[in-house]
Chains A and B, each alone.
Chain A
Amino acid sequence: MFRKTFIAAATAAVVAAGSVSISFAAECIAPANPGGGWDFTCRSISKIMYDIKVIDKPMQVTNMAGGGGGLAYSHVVNKRNTDADLIVAASSATATRLAQNAYAGMTYDQVRFLGSIGGDYGVIVVAKDSPFQNLNDLVNAVKADSSKITFAGGSAAGGFDHLKVLMTLKKAGFDAVTKVKYIGVDGGGDAITQMIGGHVQAMTGDISEVVGFIKNGDVRVLAIFAEERLPGEFNAIPTAKEQGLDVVALNWRGLYVPKGISEDDYKKWSMALDTVGKSDEWKASMAANGLMPFHKVGDDFQNYVGGLMKEIADLSREIGVIK
C-alpha cells in the first residue's frame, strides 16, 4: 500500500496543475524504462483491457527498470507474491535471462506465466546492396571467414538476438560460435541504421523492427525464423526452414502474475488476457506493429516457457555466457 500511495502522490504532484484526478484499478509493471517492448506490452494491453471494458478503471503502468527485468522479478517474488491486482510484462528476453541465471538465482517457477497473445518472429536482414541473396549465402560467408561478417542486434551479447544467429549457424554445421562477431547496440532501430550505413554486414532482430525499412526497400530480409511463411504483405519473405536451416525463433510478448494469487484470480486474468488477444483492437495493434498472432494462455504457456528454458540454457553454456 505504501508504494501505491507514493505513486499516487508522485502522479498527483505532476498532474495537480491540470487538476485531473485518475484512479487506477490494477497495475501493470513494465520492467524497463519507457520506450521498449515491455513498455509497449503493458501500455497496449492495459489500454485495450480498459477500452473493451474487461476492467472498469484505467490500469496504472509502472516502469520498474533494473537488472534487465530482474529487479521487477525480484520485487514481484519477494514483495507482491499475493497481489491479485498485478500483471507484469514479459517476453523471450525474460526467459533468456532466467535461463542464463541472470536474475540472481531466481527461477521461472517462482511466478506464474499467464500467457502470450502476440509474437514477433526473428529475422536476419541485409542492406539492399548486399552481395548476400539468401540465408545460405550469408551462412557460407561466415563459414568461409567469420572475421569478415559482423552482426548487429538490439540486445546485449548473449541476448536473444545474438542467440538467433548462433542457432542458425549451428544448424548449418558451424560450431565455432565464439568466433562469430556480434555487436549489441541500443535497440533494433539502431542496429538497422548501423547496417544500412555499411558499418556491419547483417542485422538480427524482430520483424516488427524492420517493417518500415522493408516497405521502403532499404533492406532485404534473408530469412524469417517462423514455422511457415507469414500471411499477407510479408508472404514473400522466405523462412529459414525452407532454406534448409530449421530454426524457429519467436520473441513472444506476454505477461506473468505473482505465484501466490488464488486460482480464481489466475483464471480471471487468463480470461481477460484471452479476451484482449481475440479483440479487434489487439489485432489492429498487432498489425500496426508487425506482431503476429501467437496465442497461448494459461498452463499451456507455463509449460512452453519451461521448454524454452532448457534450450536457451544449453546454447548459452556453449557460448560461455553461463558456466
Chain B
Amino acid sequence: MEVFDLLGVGFAVALTPQNLGLAVAGCILGTMIGALPGLGPSNGVAILIPLAFSLGLDATAALVLMTSVYYGAMYGGRISSILLNIPGDEPALMTTLDGYPMAKQGRAADALVLSGVASFVGAMIATLGLILLAPLLSKIAYLFGPAEYFALYLLAFCTLGGVASNNQAKAAIAAAIGLGLAMIGLDGNTGMSRLTFGSLHLLEGIDFLVAIVGLFAVTEVFVFIESQGRDSAVGVKLGKITIPYRDIIATRWTMVRGTAIGFVAGVLPGAGASLGSFLAYTAEKRIAKDPESFGKGDPRGVVAPEAGNNAAAGGALIPMLTLGVPGSGTTAVLLALLMTLNITPGPTLFTDRPDVVWGLIAALLIANVVLLILNVPMVRFFVKILSVPPQILLPAVTMISFVGIYSLSGSSFDLMMMIAFGTFGYALRKLDVPTVPIILGILLGNHMEDNLRRAMVISGGDWKILFSSGLSIGLWVAAIGGFVAPLFLRKLMNKPQRITD
C-alpha cells in the first residue's frame, strides 16, 4: 500500500539517532512544560523555537523536536490536574474534576496511569486518523460556517450545567462570568474596542492562561496561607504504581468515544483541544447510567477528557497541514515554525513535501510510544517534581507560572491581572462557585459570539440563517436535547437534587 511506503520514508527520516534523541528530549521537556501550570503547550513550543534554531537543526529535526514537545505537553497537563487540582494547561482543565478526587481517595497512581493510557489511546488513534483520513477530513472544515460554529459552541454551553458542581445555578453564574470576561477586547466585527477602559493591555482580551493560573494556582496559595496548609489541595501522596487493568478494561469504550469526539473537535479550526476534552467529558456523563458519580473520582471522568484532548491534538494537525489553518493555539505556533523553515502548509503540502509530512507523522508515532513509557512506568519521575513539600512547591509553581507568562507577554499588567484573578478565585471558593465554567466561558465565549455576529452580517440580521443547514439543525437538536434531557431524566428517576459539597 502506498501509505506504508510513505510511512516507511517517514520512519527512515525520523529514526536517525539524532532525531530519536530529539524525540525523547522533546517528550521529557514537553511533559514538564505541560505539568507546570502557566506553561501551556503553545508557550512551551514558542519558547523552545529559538533553541531549535540555535542548535542549527534542519527542518525535519526541528519538527520532530517541536511535535514531541507538543504531544508531551498534552500528556503532562494531567499530572498537576490530578495531583494539585491545578490544570497544567487549558486542555487539562476537565481532568481536575475527577482526577483530583481520585487522588484524594488515595488513587493518584491509578488516575495517572489510567489517564496516561487514555492519552496514548487518544493520541495513537488520532495519529492513525491523520494518516488515513487527512485529505478527506480537511473537507469537514468547509462544512462549518459561522452558523454551524455557533451551534457547536451552543452545544458546549448547553451541556455545561452540573459540570464541576451539582449546583446548576452556580455553574451557570460562573459560565456567565466567563462569558462576560470574554467580551473584553477588540470587537472583531466592528474593529472597535469594548470594555477596555482605554487600556492597550485589554485590547486583545483576557488571556486564558492568565485566568487559569490566577483562578487555580494563585487561589490555591491564598487558601493554603489561610488554612496554614490544612485545607490545601496540595500534598497528595502517591502510592505504589500498579496498572489498574480492571479500570482500563472497564473504560475501553469511554476511551474510544472520547477519542472520536476529541478528534472531530480538533479537526475543526478554532475549536481545539479544550472543546474536545470538554465535550468528551460531558458526553460521557450524559450517557452514563450513574452520572452522579462524576466529579467524585470516577475513572471515566479522567479517561474521557484525556483521550479527548490528546485526540484533538492529533486532529488539530489536519487543518494545519492541509489548509494552513491552525486548529489550536499550539498548532498556530507550529505553523509559524513551518513557515520560518520555508515550508508552507496548504493543500499541496502532502504532494510537495512528503518527506516533511511523513517524517512528522512518524515522529508523532514515535513520540507517542516514548510518552507512554515516560508517563506510565516512569511517571514517578515527574511526580517527584511536584512532590516537594507544599510550602515550597506552591510558591515555586506560582513563581514559574509568573515567569512563564511574563516571558510570553513581557508585560507586568498580566501579572497584576493574575493576582486579581487569584483574589477573585478565592472569593468564589468561599462562595462555593466553581471556577471551571469561568475558564470555559473565556475560552469558548469569544468564538461563540464572533460566529453569531458573523452569521448575522452574512444574513443581514435574519435569524433563520442559524437553522439553514442540516448540520446546524442537528447541532441545535443535540444542544437542546443536552440541556432539557437531564431535567426530565431527573424527574423520571425521582432523584433528589444534590447540594454541592
Q: Which residues of A contact B (CB under 8 A)?
A: 3, 6-7, 9-11, 13-15, 17-18, 20, 22, 29, 33-36, 39-40, 43-44, 47, 50, 58, 60-68, 70-71, 74-75, 103-104, 147, 150, 156-159, 162, 181-187, 189-190, 192-194, 196-200, 208-209, 211-213, 215-216, 218, 284-285, 288-290, 321
Contact = CB atoms under 8 A, between A and B. Distances in A.
B408 interface: yes
Contact of B51 (A18, A182, A185): A18
Nearest to A11: B47
B454 interface: yes
Contacts of B326: 35, 187, 189
Given A10-B406, A40-B339, A216 B454 contact: no
B213 to A, nearest CB: 14
23 contacts: A14-B29, A17-B28, A18-B51, A33-B329, A35-B326, A60-B50, A63-B409, A63-B410, A65-B204, A67-B203, A67-B204, A158-B190, A181-B460, A183-B189, A186-B270, A187-B325, A187-B326, A193-B319, A197-B141, A212-B346, A212-B347, A215-B347, A215-B348
Interface in B344-378: 344-349
B324 interface: yes
Contact of B325 (A62, A184, A193, A215): A193
A251 to B, nearest CB: 15
Interface stretch (B38-46, B116-124, B167-175): B38-46
Contacts of B454: 183, 185
B340 A47 contact: yes
Contacts, number: 206
A67 B185 CA distance: 9
Contacts of A289: 339, 342, 344
By Cβ-Cβ distance, the 7 closest A-B pairs, closest first, are A212-B346, A199-B145, A10-B407, A158-B191, A35-B332, A197-B142, A67-B200
A68 to B, nearest CB: 6
B146 interface: yes
Contacts of A14: 29, 33, 39, 44, 47-48, 404
Contacts of A182: 457
Contact of A75 (B339, B349, B410): B410
B268 to A, nearest CB: 10
Given A7-B407, A63-B408, A70-B200, A44 B47 contact: no
A187 to B, nearest CB: 7
A71 B188 CA distance: 18
B1 interface: no
A218 B347 contact: yes
Contact of B146 (A183, A215, A216): A183
Contacts of A68: 186, 203-204
Interface in B426-462: 450, 454, 457-458, 460
Contacts of B323: 189, 192-193
B286 interface: no
Contact of B333 (A34, A47, A50, A198): A34
Nearest to A213: B347
Given A35-B336, A193-B325, A321-B191, A11 B203 contact: no
B458 A200 contact: yes
Contact of A71 (B25, B53, B146, B411): B411
A159 B188 CA distance: 10
